[in-house]
Amino acid sequence: MVAYDGAQNPYRKFSMMAMTSPLVGNTIVSHAIEWMFHWGRVSAERTLQRQHLALDSLRKAIGGMNVDLTSNRIEIQRDSSPSGQQCFQTDLVMLAAVLMQVANSFFIGLVGVDVHLNIALHFLQSLNILDTPCEGFVLRFLLQRFAMLDITTSLTQNRRPYLSLTCWFLWPDPKLDVSEPPFREMTGCPQPLWVFLARLCHLRSDLSDESGSFSKGLAAAFQIETELRVYGESMAVLDLNGDYARESGPEAIYYHTLGQCWYWCAHLVLQLQIYKDPKWSPRVQETVTIIMTLMKTIPVTCNPSSRTSTPLCLLASGVCAQEDKKWVTERNDELRKVFPCMTRDETMTLIQETWQE
């Protein structure tokens, strides 16, 4: 996962948190050095030192955790040194550090992702912010970050999301795409569409559960597909009005195109993972063609392209023609040069192995 950049970059606010929290500071520096190591700017020894320091800081903080049930807040025993004095609520600091470790796990590979997601979920539950919309930039951003990482891994690893559909963030709310931090710019996917993906992931798990009713599951799938197509009509209206083309910034149209990619990826998930259509079916291949055509219009070097890892992996799971497989492979190679992501590479390798079957 690459760092989001823009006028409302939330990591700039985290840099303020790092000034008062050694835990967050060590985590940010560790991730920055790992990025530098990838580009040959720092030694492996130095990278491991900073990584161990960040993880050790996190382990010590979790080890000193004290849960105050009356305030639903996690507090951690801190030392009294100047670098450890309070400025931000300790629970937010802990959650921020854990979620940054999740994001880093995406960069260096899948190992450790589920462990950190489980820890982060514990903090979210203790903070009591899953059922009621939370106030404040940092809380919203951290829950948003968790939802993004949770659903992404669910889509690519075929597991049930940790977040329940009762969580307020998984209710359609277009305001979350324009309020700070804007979800659409963080992920490339409109928030209401992300809710559809979360519903599909839960439905897929329900259908794979032997105790679940397949007929009820299909009825739910039909309902989701109907609602999804209605939502797609609203995206088409935006195209006709040219609203996104008039947005400030030259990359606005690429973000909208990426949103369309996500829309058709939701259809692909429905077709392949819910309805179990064969890859070579005309419906699946038409969806694959649409996604690929859209993705080809997004330059690899533009910022929205950094959000195409999951759509590319979903696309790869549906391609059949050799020329399509070649394009997907080449696209991943091009992305690796600009936006490296070990998780994307590992997932693509697993998918490419299925191409040989």
- Give me the residue spans of the domains in the chain: 187-356
More confident residue, 213 or 161: 161
Vertex 316 angle, CA 315 and 322, to 5°: 115
What are the CA-CA distances from residue 343 to residues 33, 149, 248, 328, 339 (Å)? 18, 12, 32, 16, 12
pLDDT score, position 246: 54
**Mean pLDDT along residues 34-50:** 80
Q: Write phi, then psi, for 267 (nearest 5 degrees).
A: -65, -40
State the maximum Cα–Cα separation within the chain, in Å, rounded to a whole number: 66
- What percent of the chain stands above pLDDT 90? 38
Separation in Å, CA 322 to CA 61, 284, 318, 349, 352: 51, 16, 12, 16, 12
**What pLDDT shows up at residue 108?**
64
Q: Is the pLDDT of residue 324 over 70?
A: yes
CB 119 within 8 A of CB 105: no
- CA distances 104 to 297, 304, 343, Å, are 29, 19, 10
255 pLDDT more than 80: yes
Measured CA to CA, the distance from residue 168 to residue 230 in angstroms comes to 22
Q: What is the pLDDT of residues 71-115, one digit of tens each?
A: 334 343 444 443 333 433 666 777 777 777 776 666 665 556 777
What tokens does 204 get? 């897929």
State mean pLDDT over 318-347: 92
d(CA 323, CA 303): 26
Among 355, 313, 352, residue whose Cα is nearest residue 335: 313
Three-class SS string for the chain? CCCCCCCCCHHHHHHHHHHHCHHHHHHHHHHHHHHHHHCCCCCHHHHHHHHHHHHHHHHHHHHCEEEECCCCEEEECCCCCHHHCCCCCHHHHHHHHHHHHHHHHHHHCCCCHHHHHHHHHHHHHHHCCCCCCCCCHHHHHHHHHHHHHHHHHHHHHCCCCCCCCCCHHHCCCHHHHCCCCCHHHHHCCCHHHHHHHHHHHHHHHHHHCCCCCHHHHHHHHHHHHHHHHHHHHHHHHHHHHCCCCCCCCCCHHHHHHHHHHHHHHHHHHHHHHHCCCCCCCHHHHHHHHHHHHHHHCCCCCCHHHHHCHHHHHHHHCCCCCHHHHHHHHHHHHHHHHHCCCHHHHHHHHHHHHHHCC
Over residues 292-309, the mean pLDDT reads 93
Q: Indicate if the pLDDT at residue 174 is higher than 70.
A: yes
Q: Is the dihedral of CA 277, 281, 286, 289 positive or negative?
A: positive
> Which whole number is the average pLDDT over 250-263?
89
Closest residue by Cα to residue 229 from 257, 195, 266, 204: 266
- Is residue 144 within 8 A of residue 183, CB to CB? The reply is yes
Query: And the tokens for 180?
Result: 């700070």
Tell me which of 16-20, 213-217, 285-289, 331-335 is least confident.
16-20
pLDDT score for 293 = 96
pLDDT-derived band at 64 (thresholds 50, 70, 90) equals low
d(CA 98, CA 119): 7
